Amino acid sequence: MTLTFIWTTVGALLTLCVYSFLYKDNPFYKFAEHLVVGVSAGYYLVIYYFNFIDPNVVRPVFQLELGGEAVAFGGTEWWMALIPGLLGLLLYTRFFPKIAWVGRWPLGIYVGGYAGLGISPVMQARVIDQMQAASSPLAGVPDPFAAATNAALGFAIFVVLTYFLLVKRHIVARGIAMSIGAVVLSAVAGYGGYVVLSALSAQGVVSMTNILLVVGLLGTLAYFFFSMRHAGLLGGLARIGIIFLMVGFGASFGYTVMSRISLLIGRVSFLLTDWLHLI
């Protein structure tokens, strides 16, 4: 009980040291920062040795046993374990200027091997599967996301029309009554759009969700086209693409901020419940 309290107190005090950074950089934060960097360096040294070097090199080569059984190197001959072991050692040639160039060989094998192994799965998962999913029928199919898509498009009509009337047509400068009228008109147009789109979706004539998906995808691909200047048709498509990207980033930002807030709640709960027993 006492030991638990001591360690909880240490954790709580270090938490407060880190949070003191919110005020400004100070010796308490500096202490916590150096402690975590130092501890993590030692911790990872041990983790790397016991998780990688020991089971993959030391035990197979020296025929050591683990749990009563000799450790094999991935079901192959023991001497095969020497190859990655030697490649790892070659990295240290950088400390000897005359043969430092040898250290580039293991790096080359490491990077090249990973790139080669990654090509097939990446081509399958990130290109072909996505392409197949994007080739969705645009009409004559049930649209499970119709309500949300139509509402979003109706809202988009309202926002764009409001911006166009108030800012581009300078209605905002013509008085409050005109401005309210423009907003109401935009709202009516947005709602009208929503009703029309809903009627089309209900009849199964078009799938607005799939159309939106395809337009967004083509626009985004156009944005990441580097061989031509973004002008004309390509420029228009790229502009649509960047709008889709920003909408996506906004949603992702909001989602992640919520998860970070939950982390904060978890930490405050630790301080108030586990440490101070106030809750």
**Closest separation between CB of residue 84 and other proteins, Å?**
14
Counting Cβ atoms within 10 Å, is residue 118 exposed (0-12), middle (13-18) or buried (19+)?
Answer: exposed
What would the DSSP string read from start to end of 158-206? Answer: HHHHHHIIIIIT-GGGG-HHHHHHHHHHHHHHHHHHHHHHHHHHHTTS-
| Region from 1-9, 154-162, 166-174, 221-229 binding other proteins, contact rule CB under 8 A | 221-229
In three-state secondary structure terms, 140 is: coil
Is there binding between residue 30 and other proteins (CB under 8 A)?
A: yes
Beta strands in the chain (DSSP E): 65-66, 69-70
Is there binding between residue 212 and other proteins (CB under 8 A)?
A: no
Is there binding between residue 140 and other proteins (CB under 8 A)?
A: yes
Task: Kindly identify the residues of this chain, within the stretch 172-211, that bind other proteins according to CB under 8 A.
Answer: none
In three-state secondary structure terms, 78 is: helix
| Residues that contact other proteins, how many (by CB under 8 A) | 57
Is there binding between residue 227 and other proteins (CB under 8 A)?
A: yes
Instruction: Tell me how far apart the alpha carbons of residues 262 and 87 are, in angstroms, rounded to a whole number.
Output: 44
Which phi-psi region, left, alpha or beta, contains residue 113 (left: φ > 0; alpha: ψ -120 to 50)?
alpha
| Region from 65-73, 77-85, 253-261, 269-277 binding other proteins, contact rule CB under 8 A | 253-261
- Check residue 102 and report its DSSP letter: G
| Region from 28-36, 151-159, 169-177, 266-274 binding other proteins, contact rule CB under 8 A | 28-36
Is there binding between residue 124 and other proteins (CB under 8 A)?
A: yes
Beta carbons of 106 and 121 less than 8 angstroms apart: no
**Closest separation between CB of residue 165 and other proteins, Å?**
29
- Interface residue with other proteins among 111, 147, 184, 188 (CB under 8 A) is 111
Cβ neighbours for 221, distance < 8 A, ≥ 6 positions apart = 241
* Sites of contact with other proteins (CB under 8 A): 18, 21, 25, 29-30, 32-33, 36-37, 39-41, 43-44, 91, 94, 103, 107, 110-111, 114-115, 119-120, 123-124, 127-129, 131-132, 134-140, 214, 217-218, 221, 224-230, 245-246, 249-250, 252-253, 256, 260
